[in-house]
Amino acid sequence: MAPTCSNICEVTCSDTAHDAGEFNNVKIMGIHDGHSASAALVIDGKVIAAIQEERLTRAKNQGGFPRLAIEDILRRHGMKHADIDLWAFSGVETSNLDSRDKIMSTYAKMVHEDKWKWLRHPEKLLRGAKKKAHRKQEKIAASQQRRRANLLSAGVAAERVKFIDHHYCHAATAYFGQANRNDDILVITCDGDGDDLCASVSIGNNSQLRRIATTPHTASVAVIYSLVTYLMGFIPLEHEYKLMGMAPYASKSPRVREIADYFSALFRVSADGLSWDTSDKCANTFKLGPQLQQFMQLKRFDELCGGLQLFIEEFIIAWVKRLIKHSGIHRLALAGGLFMNVKLNKLIMELDEVDSLFIFPSCSDESNSIGAAWAAAVDQAATTEIAPIAQFYLGGSFDDDTARAAIDNYPLKKKIKVTHYDDIELRCAELICSGEVVARCKGDMEFGARALGNRSILANPDNWKAVRTINEMIKMRDFWMPFAPSMLAEDADKYLVNPKQIDAPYMILAFESKKEKLDNIIAATHPYDESCRPQMVKKEWNPDYHRLISYVKERSGEGVVLNTSFNLHGLPVVYSPDDALLVFDQSGLKYLALGNLLIEEVTAG
């Protein structure tokens, strides 16, 4: 049955619809061609493959049409463009933020443009409004023609290409990503901007989504987080997590409250409590840059981070409470870039009003390729059942012969020794337990922003020395950023306070650490509040990584390792053996497990 959703069906149910049963073994390619571009292949409702364009271009958060990602998926699965039944783009419109340079220049204009020019010329404001209304559909049509052309040039028929509302894609990931389709699910999305919205609220039941509220993009709270990120000298749409990481360091400052109140005063809640808009202190959050720059002058970095994070937590928590009260639904599913904020997610999870919580893994825009494919599957292939998301290893892999060839051909500066192990997980565990840091590149690559063991740097979680080694010698990253633990799923209750038994296999939720186990995982916890962002490793999803951690447990008594993404700071997570060798050669790494081969740096003497 097709999803019902007010203000949605006119963009999801188009004349490209096919009769149920026209396709057997329905193959749909979802495409996100905005910031953090990606592609995803869904066959009969199941996600078969997904990859971000950045992993192939090696440019962090690469945007634009994900040509290489599509080619990678087709090649790995022995397909051609003609084998795909439907092509689903995320977003009726899309941004042109396809590079860091464009992102930085866009935010520079948001901060430095003359915000008063329209007030000095009100006649231009009136003419501008009329022109904007007239040109909107023309702009959308031109954008879709340009985006569609990327496929038509490969022989794809125009009638098999469709465009799906941005926030409906987010909602589709949240709702169809979880397994409960019988009970009412409160589906919430929130991000910076997508198809003129920054938030939506829907009710999911029986594989349908019914939208009940929206918030315009001009009242985006997430874009404020990005503006502050830019004004602090970081890269917006990329480094917001650094502000979240710094926030706890100012937790005791009284000025944090004052800063949070400033942000709160910029908004007013709607009469029904389901959405919000800007107050008379801010006409449009995208035009807030000059005012925000002035407000931030002479304020401490940590206090600004703390105040911004406090505002986001209080504002969104109050919104979620109102939504639950209005709907009477206590089961939540969330998606959208704002919910990459694990501290916020923790507070939502802990609400008395929340019975269960699912947050789609890596729920920023990169996951909208999956949402677009799922939405198209339900909308246009009515017999298709959507399989909930499970393991998130959706990228490609390599064999030991490929790894060996890469080692032989790579111009390494380091002197190395290479050893093949029948059970390299055992050797990795031995090194970790002896205090060494080991990079692991094996198996299918993870999708999204979180490293889940197959493209990870691993260490002993009770070893503070390892934290310094990784920060200073390997990743060259900011000292205040916390690491995360990967733990055996069956042992998670030993380390986490989790009374609701929320599943957390994707590093998208934070939990309180149990006091009696804190010293055993201290290097993988957050500062001050000593919470952590865990990956519960399931044997059936990743038997090799599960076995590695089990070996660590046999030697140390603790079924947990410190895990951080395998990359140099500012670069994407590694994909291929060549990517892994580059990071190994240009960092202080001593050990790299590449497939079943252990590469060890040999020092002189």
Supply the pLDDT for residue 400.
Answer: 98
* pLDDT given at position 52: 98
Taking residues 190-198, report their average pLDDT.
97
Model pLDDT, residue 493: 97
DSSP 471: I
The residue behind tokens 């590469």 is 599
In sequence order, the β-bridge partners of residue 50 are: 40
**pLDDT of amino acid 593:** 98
Q: Which two tokens stand for residue 124?
A: 């231009």
Q: Please give the full DSSP string across 526-564, using - where no structure is assigned.
A: -TTT-EE--EEE-TTT-HHHHHHHHHHHHHHS--EEEEE
Q: Give the pLDDT of residue 471.
A: 84
66, 72, 78, 81: CA torsion to nearest 10: 20
527 pLDDT higher than 90: no
Confidence of residue 379 (pLDDT cuts 50, 70, 90): confident
Alpha-carbon distances of 73 from 40, 83, 84, 116, 372, rounded to whole Å:
8, 12, 11, 49, 16
Q: Mean pLDDT throughout 419-440?
A: 97
**Does residue 13 carry a pLDDT above 80?**
no
Letter for the amino acid at 577? P
Q: What is the pLDDT of residues 395-417, one digit of tens each?
A: 999 999 999 999 999 999 999 99
The predicted structure's pLDDT at residue 176: 97
136-160 pLDDT tens trace: 888 899 999 999 999 999 999 999 9
- What pLDDT is attached to residue 8? 34
Taking only the tens place, the pLDDT of each residue in 74-102 is 999 999 999 999 999 999 999 888 888 88
Which ranges of 297-410 would DSSP assign to H, the alpha helix? 301-327, 342-350, 368-380, 400-409
Helix (H), strand (E), coil (C) string for 133-171:
HHHHHHHHHHHHHHHHHHHHCCCCCHHHEEEECHHHHHH
| Tokens matching residue 413 | 């500066």
Query: Three-state DSSP class for 225?
Result: helix
Poorest-confidence range of 160-169, 232-241, 413-422?
A: 232-241
Confidence of residue 476 (pLDDT cuts 50, 70, 90): confident
User: Predicted confidence band at 468 (pLDDT cuts at 50, 70, 90)?
Assistant: confident
For 400-601, which CATH superfamily applies?
Carbamoyltransferase, C-terminal domain (3.90.870.20)
Which pLDDT score, from 0 to 100, does residue 6 have? 33
- Model pLDDT, residue 2: 36
Q: What is the rounded radius of gyration, in angstroms, for the C-alpha atoms of the chain?
A: 24
Instruction: Give me the residues paired with residue 496 across strands.
Output: 513
Q: Can you tell me the mean pLDDT for 304-311? A: 97
Quickly state the pLDDT bin for 381 (edges 50, 70, 90): low
Burial class of residue 410, CB neighbours in 10 A (0-12, 13-18, 19+):
middle
pLDDT, position 20: 39
Domain ranges in the chain are 186-363, 400-601
Q: Check if the beta carbon of residue 530 is closer than 8 Å to that of residue 450.
A: no
Closest C-alpha to 444, from 51, 108, 161: 51
User: Rounded CA gap, 412 and 34, in Å?
Assistant: 36
Region 475-499: mean pLDDT is 91
306: tokens are 């703390």
Alpha-helical regions (H) of 37-121: 54-57, 67-76, 100-112, 117-120
Please compute the mean of the pLDDT values over residues 280-294 and round it to a whole number: 94
For residue 132, the Cα-to-chain-centroid distance in whole angstroms is 32
pLDDT at 69: 98
DSSP element (H, E) containing 246: helix 240-246
197 contacts: CB under 8 Å, gap ≥ 6: 166, 167, 214, 215, 216, 217
Q: What strands lie across the sheet with 356-359, from one edge to the other?
A: 208-216, 197-205, 185-194, 331-335, 356-359
pTM, whole model, 2 decimals? Answer: 0.93
pLDDT at 511 over 50: yes
Distances in whole angstroms, Cα of residue 509 to Cα of each of 344, 358, 462, 499, 506 = 9, 10, 21, 14, 8
Q: What pLDDT does residue 4 have?
A: 38
pLDDT (mean) for 529-537: 94
134 has pLDDT over 80: no
Quick one: pLDDT band at residue 352, thresholds 50, 70, 90?
Answer: very high
Of the listed ranges 8-17, 176-185, 266-275, the least confidently predicted one is 8-17
Cα–Cα distance for residue pair 462/144, rounded to 1 Å: 52
Amino acid identity at 555: R
Name the residue among 260, 252, 253, 251 with its Cα closest to residue 310.
Answer: 260
Residues 495-522: what's their mean pLDDT? 96
Instruction: List residues bridging with 200 in a β-sheet.
Output: 189, 214
Residue 393 phi/psi, 5-degree rounding, is: -95, 85
- Give me the CATH topology for the region 186-363: Nucleotidyltransferase; domain 5 (3.30.420)
- The separation between CA 15 and the C-alpha centre of its own chain, rounded to angstroms, equals 32
% of the chain exceeding 70 in pLDDT: 91
Residues forming a β-bridge with 513: 496
Q: How distant is the alpha carbon of residue 244 from its chain centre?
A: 15
Task: Identify the CA nearest to 572 among candidates 52, 68, 96.
Answer: 52
Q: Are 333 and 177 in contact (CB under 8 A)?
A: yes
Cα within 13 Å of Cα(426), Cβ side: 4
- CB atoms inside a 10 Å sphere around CB 125: 12
**Segment 432-443 mean pLDDT:** 97
Alpha-carbon gap, residue 437 to 181, rounded angstroms: 43
| Confidence class for position 25, pLDDT limits 50, 70, 90 | confident
Residue 68, helix vs strand vs coil? helix
Q: Which amino acid is at 73?
A: I
What percentage of residues in the chain have a pLDDT greater than 90?
Answer: 82
Which of 285, 266, 256, 295 is closest to 198 using CA atoms? 285
> What pLDDT shows up at residue 23?
52
Evaluate whether 78 touches 21 at the Cβ level (below 8 Å): no
Indicate the pLDDT class of residue 130, thresholds 50, 70 and 90.
low
Lowest mean pLDDT, pick from 137-146, 508-517, 546-555: 137-146
Interval 473-483 mean pLDDT: 80
Average model confidence (pLDDT) for the chain? 91
Which single residue is written with the structure tokens 């998670």? 492
Question: Which whole number is the average pLDDT over 271-283?
Answer: 96
Place of tokens 């959405």: 275
Burial class (CB in 10 A: 0-12, 13-18, 19+), 76: middle
pLDDT of residue 462: 94
CA dihedral for 510, 515, 521, 525, sign (positive or negative): positive
**Best CA proximity match to 34, nearest among 107, 99, 106:** 99
